[in-house]
Amino acid sequence: MKPSRKGSLQTALAALLLCSAAAQADAAAPDRRAVTVSGQGEVSAAPDRARLSMAVEITDPDLKAAQAKVNGIVRAYLAQARALGARDEDVSTAGLSINAEYDYSNGKGRKFLGYHVTRGIGVVVRDLDKIGDYLQRATDAGINNISNPQLESSKADELQRQALAKAALDAQAKARALADTLGVKLGTVHTINASSEAIRPPGPQPRVLAMAAAAPGGNEEMGFAAGEVKYSSTLTAEFDLLP
């Protein structure tokens, strides 16, 4: 049996009416209104530990001799670090690199200079009053590459969360001020994008590090002050605006 033409027309008409009603509803629906603001938060704290990064570098035509010199310096410094109170879990000496060095300046090909052996040392210092002693003992032992100490707080995660909470409150306050000014209500937050970072005070500069070799030891002789570590967060939030 063939479907009646009248029934088909009724079905098509009903579909058109539904589409038209949906289009009218979409047209009548108000556009979503929102406001996007940024918020900043910062928390400061006194550092309670430092990370020291240093290395021993020796070049010698005899690879075994170069390794023996480097290892001897590392062992000597480890003994000094333990005497200052460093624990085994606070010391790392895993970094090692060996490279053959050549001189190409004579224009007659390369000239072998020796094997350059580098051994890295990392130390976590939990008593900041002894940073100067750790650095001075390092130069005494023969360590010839020292980076600036990285100061940090053992409560870094908690402090970062506090900074993030401050940033969220700052964004909310800005959004509420805008809503009040525009005569609308502030709705719920729609999207949030956040980022965080730690701002550490600068450690001893190269000139101060060089003084460690001649200083009797301690922070006062080196002119070292810990300062504060700052943890900051920035976020962007989008809030709905209600009539």
Are 61 and 145 part of one and the same domain?
yes
With H, G, I as helix, E, B as strand and everything else as coil, classify residue 215. coil
Residue 141 to residue 86: CA distance in whole angstroms: 16
Does the residue 26 lie in any domain? no
Residue 105 to residue 69: CA distance in whole angstroms: 28
Are 148 and 184 part of one and the same domain?
no
Are 158 and 132 part of one and the same domain?
no
Among 152, 171, 190, which residue terminates a domain? Answer: 152
Q: What is the pTM of this model?
A: 0.67
Does the residue 18 lie in any domain? no
Among 152, 175, 207, which residue terminates a domain? Answer: 152
Q: Which helix (H) or strand (E) holds 232?
A: strand 229-242
Does the residue 8 lie in any domain? no
- Cα-flanking dihedrals φ and ψ of residue 56, to 5°? -110, 130
The mean pLDDT values, 10 residues at a time, for the chain of 243 residues are: 51 47 48 91 93 96 96 96 94 92 86 95 94 92 92 93 96 95 92 87 49 53 74 95 90
Residue 51 to residue 128: CA distance in whole angstroms: 10
User: Which pLDDT score, from 0 to 100, does residue 32 have?
Assistant: 79
User: How many residues are given for the chain?
Assistant: 243
Does the residue 16 lie in any domain? no
User: Which pLDDT score, from 0 to 100, does residue 205 have?
Assistant: 46
